[in-house]
C-alpha cells in the first residue's frame, strides 16, 4: 500500500479528534454556565421554589438548626424564626437583579464613552479621560457608601452607587480598542463613502467591541454581587424588608458562635455564585481570544 494512502488514513482520525476537541466547550464554561443558569432559574422562580414566606416570623421556631431533608426547615431558621432556605432563594433574585442592572448600565455608559473618546481623540478624549481619572481616584466601595449615605437606602440608589465607578473599566479598555479600530481600512472606506461619525461608531466600531465587553461584563457581575453583599452587610444596601445574602450575614454576627448555619449558608451562596461567574468569564475569555485558542491547540 502506498505510503501516501497510509498517511491519509492515519491523519483522518487525528483530524476528527481535533475537530471534536475544537467543538467541545471548556469545562470552565460548562460549570460556570450551569451555576449562572441555576441562579437565573432560582431568581425567576423563587416564589414557587421557596418552601416558606421569607418574611414570615415564627418566634417559637427561632434559631432551629438545619433539619436537612427530613424537616420543614431544611437549612434551619434565623433569630426571628424565618426560614433560611427561603431567604437564600429570594436573595438570589436580588443578587441577579443588581448584577444584571449594574452590568447593563455601566457597560452602556462605559462602552459609549470609550468609543467616543478613542474615535474622536483630541479635546474630547482629554475631557473624558480626565473624568475617568477623577472618578478612578476614589475607592469603589467608599464612593458607593458616600452615594448611599447621601441618597439613602433603596434598590435604585444601590444600583446607581455600584454603577458610579464600574463604567470606567469598560471605558478604558474600549478606548484602547477604538484607537486601533479607527485606523483600519474598513473604517476609512466607510468615511470615504460619506458616512458620518455617529454611523461609523454605531455600525462599524461598536460591533467589534462586543467580545471584549462581554468578558468585562461577566467579571463585573461577580464584583457587583460582592459589593451588594458588602453594602447590605453594612446596612446601606437593599431595604431591610427585602431578603439579601449580605443582610443575612449581617444578622448572623451576634449568633456566629451559637448558630453557625446563619452565616454558613448565605456565605456559601455568595461563594458558589461568584466562583461560577468567574469560571464562566474565564472560559468565555479563552473562547474569544484567538491567541489563547492557538496556544491551547499547541
| Domain containing residue 202: CATH number | 1.10.3720.10
Residue keyed to cell 473599566: 169
| pLDDT score of 15 | 46
Average pLDDT rounded to a whole number, residues 25-54: 89
Are 239 and 228 in contact, with CB atoms under 8 Å apart?
no
Q: Is 160 domain-assigned?
A: yes
| pLDDT score of 240 | 77
**Whole-structure pTM over 0.85, yes or no?**
no
Task: Please say whether the dihedral angle defined by the alpha carbons of residues 47, 50, 51 and 55, taken in this order, is positive or negative.
Answer: negative
User: Which of 224, 226, 216 lies closest to 282 in space, CA to CA?
Assistant: 216
Average pLDDT rounded to a whole number, residues 278-296: 70
Residue 243 has pLDDT above 60, yes or no: yes
Q: Is 175 domain-assigned?
A: yes
Q: Is 226 domain-assigned?
A: yes
Say how many C-beta atoms besides its own lie within 10 A of residue 243's C-beta: 23
Average pLDDT rounded to a whole number, residues 221-227: 90
* Residue 298 binned pLDDT confidence (cut-offs 50, 70, 90): very low
Q: How many domains does the chain have?
A: 1
Residue 88 has pLDDT above 90, yes or no: yes
Rounded distance, CA 88 to CA 81, Å? 14
Residue 12 has pLDDT above 80, yes or no: no
DSSP 215-267: HHHHHHHHHHHHHHHHHHHTT-SS-TTS--HHHHHHHTGGGTTT-THHHHHHH
Q: 16-33: per-residue pLDDT in tens?
A: 554 455 566 778 889 988
Percent of the chain beyond pLDDT 70? 89
Average pLDDT rounded to a whole number, residues 57-84: 87
Mean pLDDT of the chain: 84
How distant, in Å, are the alpha carbons of 109, 140, 184, 218, 296 from that of 161? Answer: 14, 9, 37, 19, 40
Rounded distance, CA 198 to CA 115, Å? 10
Q: Is 12 domain-assigned?
A: no
Q: Is 124 domain-assigned?
A: yes
Q: Is 83 domain-assigned?
A: yes
Q: Is 32 domain-assigned?
A: yes
Residue keyed to cell 458616600: 146
How many helices (H) and strands (E) the chain has is answered by: 13, 0
Least confident of 29-43, 120-134, 233-247: 233-247
* Residue 6 binned pLDDT confidence (cut-offs 50, 70, 90): very low
Q: Is 3 domain-assigned?
A: no
What range defines the domain where residue 33 resides? 27-297
| pLDDT score of 210 | 83
Amino acid at each position: 500500500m502506498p505510503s501516501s494512502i497510509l498517511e491519509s488514513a492515519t491523519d483522518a482520525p487525528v483530524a476528527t479528534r481535533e475537530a471534536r476537541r475544537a467543538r467541545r466547550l471548556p469545562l470552565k464554561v460548562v460549570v460556570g454556565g450551569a451555576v449562572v443558569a441555576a441562579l437565573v432559574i432560582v431568581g425567576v422562580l423563587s416564589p414557587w421554589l421557596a418552601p416558606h414566606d421569607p418574611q414570615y416570623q415564627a418566634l417559637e421556631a427561632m434559631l432551629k438548626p438545619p433539619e436537612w431533608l427530613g424537616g420543614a426547615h431544611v437549612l434551619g431558621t434565623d433569630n426571628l424564626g424565618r426560614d433560611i432556605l427561603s431567604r437564600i432563594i429570594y436573595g438570589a433574585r436580588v443578587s441577579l437583579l443588581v448584577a444584571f442592572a449594574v452590568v447593563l448600565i455601566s457597560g452602556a455608559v462605559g462602552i459609549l464613552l470609550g468609543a467616543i473618546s478613542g474615535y474622536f481623540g483630541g479635546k474630547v478624549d482629554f475631557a473624558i479621560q480626565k473624568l475617568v481619572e477623577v472618578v478612578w481616584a476614589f475607592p469603589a466601595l467608599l464612593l458607593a457608601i458616600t452615594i448611599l449615605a447621601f441618597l439613602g437606602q433603596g434598590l435604585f440608589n444601590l444600583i446607581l452607587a455600584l454603577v458610579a465607578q464600574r463604567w470606567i473599566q469598560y471605558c478604558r479598555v474600549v478606548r484602547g480598542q477604538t484607537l486601533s479600530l479607527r485606523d483600519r481600512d474598513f473604517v476609512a472606506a466607510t468615511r470615504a463613502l460619506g458616512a458620518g461619525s455617529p454611523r461609523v461608531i454605531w455600525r462599524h466600531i461598536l460591533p467589534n467591541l462586543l467580545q471584549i465587553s462581554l468578558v468585562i461584563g461577566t467579571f463585573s457581575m461577580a464584583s457587583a454581587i460582592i459589593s451588594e453583599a458588602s453594602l447590605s452587610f453594612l446596612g446601606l444596601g437593599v431595604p431591610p424588608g427585602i431578603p439579601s445574602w449580605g443582610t443575612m450575614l449581617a444578622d448572623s454576627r451576634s449568633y456566629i458562635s451559637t448558630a453557625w448555619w446563619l452565616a454558613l449558608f448565605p456565605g456559601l451562596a455568595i461563594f458558589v455564585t461568584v466562583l461560577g461567574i468567574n469560571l464562566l468569564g474565564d472560559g468565555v475569555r479563552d473562547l474569544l481570544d484567538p491567541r489563547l485558542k492557538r496556544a491551547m491547540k499547541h
